[in-house]
Structure 1
Amino acid sequence: MIDVTVENFEAEVIAASMEVPVLVDFWAPWCGPCKSLGPVLEKLETEYAGRFKLAKIDSDQEQQLAGMFGIRSIPTCVLLMGGQPVDGFTGAQTEGQVRAFLDKHVPSAEEALAEVEEDLAQDALAEGDTDTALEKLQHAVATDPANDDARFDYVKLLLQLGREDDAKVAFAPVIAKAAASRRLGALKAWMDALDFVAVSASGAGAEAEFDAKIAANKRDFDARFGRARWLMAQQRWTDAMDELLDILMRDKAWSDELARKTYVAILEIIEPPKVKVADGQIPPEDPVVASYRRRLSSVVLS
């Protein structure tokens, strides 16, 4: 819990809400209901162990802030997330009522722990420590099985490391969601490519076989798509997208837009993790991803 004034409002409320929900309690020393609500809020802040931050504003001393939020009666609590007010309540509330309010917005303990594990995994990957990253992501998925972002990163890393069977086991709980999720669908496209190569492509000579078919008929889209899948299995992502672009330049709608959908799946796979930047700044886009997005747009829209 922190007392907020005009001087520290930007740092302690706006900036802080970019990282964790901030509950702002507008109160005054003479307010009876404030005296009953305050201890409840402080108890829950301790119990929630960092999953939200409590900021208290004396509305008598900080009338400018009270006016900015349009406070007409106290106690009034306003919840900020991402620098913006998202919800609130007025008047004294029971502990159960405040808990129910918080649980609508504040991540559960499992979700918060999984998010920490994800961050640690990305830090480990940045340092080249794939073993630690894999361990953290596995823990994140086990802690919060509904966290599809953590599962995406976990399955993706398993595939990158060539652990296809483990990846399929980890992916199985969400396979039914793949058709409706671009990220999960991208993983399925990758695994489908691996299965295709395992069944259809003849080892090291596969690329030469595809090349021969394409040389004989540049509109042999089955051969081109097969070559793209073989390249995906080799994790030669830009080469695979180049092959898919060759299909799109000749027939954008081929096989129910399969080339475009697979191209988009590859973009999802190679998109780097989002990095945290200063408030108000836009993270830079990966130059390879940006270039291939532009190439796809120019072909599809031409």
Structure 2
Amino acid sequence: MIDVTLENFETEVIAASMQVPVLVDFWAPWCGPCKVIGPLLEKLELEYAGRFKLVKIDSDQEQQLAAAFGIRSIPTCILLMGGQPVDGFMGALPEGKLKEFLDKHLPPAEDLPEEEVEAAPEAPAGSDVQLEQLQHAVATDPANDDARFSYVKALMLAGRMEEAKTAFAPVVDKVALVRRFDSLQRVMEAMAYAATPEANAQALDARIAANKRDFEARFGRAQLLAARQQWTESMDELLEILMRDKAWNDEAARKLYIAIIDLIEPPRPKVADGQIPPDDPVVATYRRRLSSVVLS
């Protein structure tokens, strides 16, 4: 069980749900039913041996996240898969009902090799399968820009940069025509910068402390943070540039900011009955922040 805040939400919930289902428990210290369901969920997380990940969000302390999910009462639990909410429930359900809810969505334990079940917390099953499916989609239809973007993005998020560069190479000429390919290239450039001697975090921090308008140092720090997949911290640094000079270096800060949004935004699932799935809270928040700065 992990306590989640706005700062680690993208990593612990959105990114994690791309690998394994994540159950988010919205609670508060004063909530009696929360004290009943909390231990049951923690018990089931252990029993299910890596088939899902449990995180807890204090709705009083993290009101922005609670509002983003439309939480109206607690406890409320939301299950995310592939970066998107897929189901949820309110109230302190008994253990049997909790198991019914989980079993409806989670892959059966017998479908996982024994060694994968044991290793699930460290290396969740499914990531290799997802990459293989995307690789097959690209191989089957090399002109499918959506499939190629998703494949390169997945490789980058998995830290497999050499493979990402190889998969990206056939569409480099499209960078000026396809914005999402431009976004991939900008994040790749940030990762390349992180491997240079200039990408010294202490030196960059010292330069910024001495001169808050040292945009080159701020941009370097933002690239370094992006290379570490500290996405929100990187965008925060880019906002510091944008608040002072929106047009600096041919709008480099805005363009990298948008590139990060493109990279971290989860795919929109198909929905039934005319329902509109909620936007990813982190992406929605940082889109609003960009708009408020750019339009100010």
Category of TM-score, reference length = shorter chain: 0.5 to 0.7
- Of structures 1 and 2, the one with the larger relative CO (CA 8 A, separation 6+) is 2
Provide the residue aligned with 1:208 in structure 2.
202
Among 226, 233, 236, which residue is 2:230 paired with? 236
Tell me how far 1:256 sits from its aligned partner. 1.1
User: May I ask how many residue pairs the two structures share in their alignment?
Assistant: 178
Moved >4 Å (runs of 4+): 123-128
Alignment of 1:92-171 (within 5 A): 128=124, 129-171=126-168
CA deviation digits over 1:157-179, x for unaligned, max 9? 11112211111010001011112
Structure number with larger C-alpha Rg: 1
Among 254, 257, 262, which residue is 2:251 paired with? 257
Provide the residue aligned with 2:180 in structure 1.
183
Runs (5+) with no aligned partner, structure 1: 1-122
CA deviation digits over 1:144-189, x for unaligned, max 9? 1011111111111111122111110100010111122121111101
Distance 1:212 1:255, change over 3 A: same
Tell me how far 1:282 sits from its aligned partner. 2.2
* Percent of aligned pairs with the same amino acid: 63
- CA contact 1:185–1:265 (8 Å) conserved in 2: yes
Distance 1:295 1:198 in 2: 29
- CA contact 1:125–1:133 (8 Å) conserved in 2: no
Distance 2:186 2:252 in 1: 10
Cα RMSD (Å): 1.9
- CA contact 2:82–2:267 (8 Å) conserved in 1: no
Equivalent position amino acid for 1:276 in 2? K
TM-score (ref. length: structure 2)? 0.57
Alignment of 1:1-302 (within 5 A): 128=124, 129-201=126-198, 206-302=200-296
Distance 1:124 1:241 in 2: 22
CA deviation digits over 1:176-215, x for unaligned, max 9? 111221211111011111111112445xxx2221111100
Runs (5+) with no aligned partner, structure 2: 1-80, 85-105, 107-123
- CA contact 2:208–2:214 (8 Å) conserved in 1: yes
Distance 2:131 2:270 in 1: 21
**Which has the larger helix fraction?**
1
Tell me the SS of whatever aligns to 1:281.
coil
Distance 1:181 1:195, change over 3 A: same
Distance 1:125 1:217 in 2: 38
CA deviation digits over 1:249-281, x for unaligned, max 9? 000111111111111111111111111111433
- CA contact 1:224–1:247 (8 Å) conserved in 2: yes
